[in-house]
Structure formats: structure tokens, C-alpha cells
Amino acid sequence: MTRQIAQQCHRLVVKIGTSSLILPSGKVNLQTIDRLAYALAALANTGHEVVLVTSGAIGVGMATRHLTKRPASIPEQQALAAVGQSELMRLYGQRFGDYGAAIGQLLLTHDVFDYPVSKQHVLDTISALLRGGVIPVINENDSVAVDEMDHRTTFGDNDQLSALVATQIDANLLVVLSDIDGLYERDPRTHPDAQLIPELSYLSARVKAGASGAGSRFGTGGMVTKLAAAQTMLQAGKEMVLCSGADPRVVLQVVAGAAVGTWFKQEEDQ
């Protein structure tokens, strides 16, 4: 079975989570970064406009500082993010460069999208990068983002950020690379017989109730945040595929229309 998304997928956003970028040992997964760079460079070479939303700053910071436990205090986490973001971009720059692809970094806070002028500047920057054949690499600015009083700066998670970016830049598709290969009717980690849901056009209360579990010790996301991202995409009339990030080259299969992961798509009008 194939999906009819390839012809429509001129512009797409790919989101990769910390759990895909960091090994269980706490070290950086260099193979994943290399395969991600290969896949996105290959798409760019065939005329697709690609935006990468990446997590991993704190996880890479922990690896760089040889830490196995995420610190509890906000200043310590933000310091790790500052260290990790620099190293993460160094690795991305190296690997994307190996495949002849140029990248540009954008670190965002939520209030950038809350104010029309700053929002337009960000969208104009992304558009200019894409026109120039540069792949924007976006992350939340974890070193400064905090919620204080009514000044909202955090997105909460990069699943939400990726959906916001995808809808704002009018991307056709959001691909969320996760530590699970799609949405299941039940948690497959505790129910081995759980069945993968291949397609969804509506997020029912039952589906939402079945989403449970937090992220890894290196990250913050979970299935709840991914369903929230899917809801954002569906409401905007866009599509999202949730699939495993174990081998990011799966993005090439998704764009080719292969039936992998869970496809969130509005039903066609009858």
C-alpha cells in the first residue's frame, strides 16, 4: 500500500527528538545524525524544500559534560543547552557539509510568534533560506526560554514547535521521528499485542486517552505532545506522519509514499 503524498510534498518539516539523537548510554548517536543529514540533503537535491526542527541541546550537553543524570535546576539545564546546542550544530554542520548541503540555525522562543513583527521576520528569514537552497535547522532557545508571569517564551516541547513552524510556513507535511514507530491502540511497551494504527483522520477522546508516557531522561516529549502536534496539523488541513527515528532515512520512504508509521490526514470530501 502506498500513500498519495509524494506529489504534494514540495515543502516539508522534519522533527527529530532527543531520544533519536542520544544513545541509551548517553552518548551522541553519530550514525543517526549522519543518516538524517543524508536523507534531508537527498531531498533538497531533488527539489524539496526541507526544514529540520531538532531537539537534543540538553542531551548533547549532558554527553559533552559526561553527565548521566539531567540536573533539576533551570539554570543548570540552560547552561547545558548552551553547551549542547553549539556541539549539536557543529555535528550537523559537519555531516550536512559532507553531503553538500548548507544549513542555517534559528533558535526561537514562543513570544517570537506572539508578536506580528518578530513573527514576520522569522518567516521571512526561513523563506530566504529556502530560496537560497539552505536547510533551516530550528530549535527552541533553551538557554533563555522560561515562562514568567504573562511573558510566554517556551513552546513546551519541540513537537508543538514543529507543528507551529509547519503550519506557519505552509508546509505540506510534517514528519515526526520518534522512539516509537507510530501510534498504537495501546502502549506496545506494556502490551506486546498492541496494533499499529496506520491512518487517522480524527483524534477521538479514546485515542487521546490511550496516549501516555513521558519522554526519556534526556528529553521531554511523549505521545501526548505528538498527538497535539497532529491535531494542529489536521486543523490546518495539513498532513503528519509519525514514525521511528531509529534510521532517519525513513523520511525518504515517507516522501515516496511508503506506508510506514501512522499517517494523520483529513478525510477526502465525498
**Annotated binding site: which residue ranges?**
15, 55, 142, 158, 178-179, 220-226
Burial bucket for residue 131 (CB in 10 Å: 0-12, 13-18, 19+): exposed
> Can you say which residues are annotated as belonging to the binding site for ATP?
15, 178-179, 220-226
178: helix, strand or coil: strand
- What's the order of all strands across the beta sheet hosting 49-54? 102-108, 134-140, 49-54, 11-16, 173-178, 239-244, 262-264, 199-200
Contact between 180 and 156 under an 8 Å Cβ cutoff? The reply is: no
* Annotated binding-site members for substrate: 55, 142, 158
DSSP 143: T
CA distance 31 to 45: 21
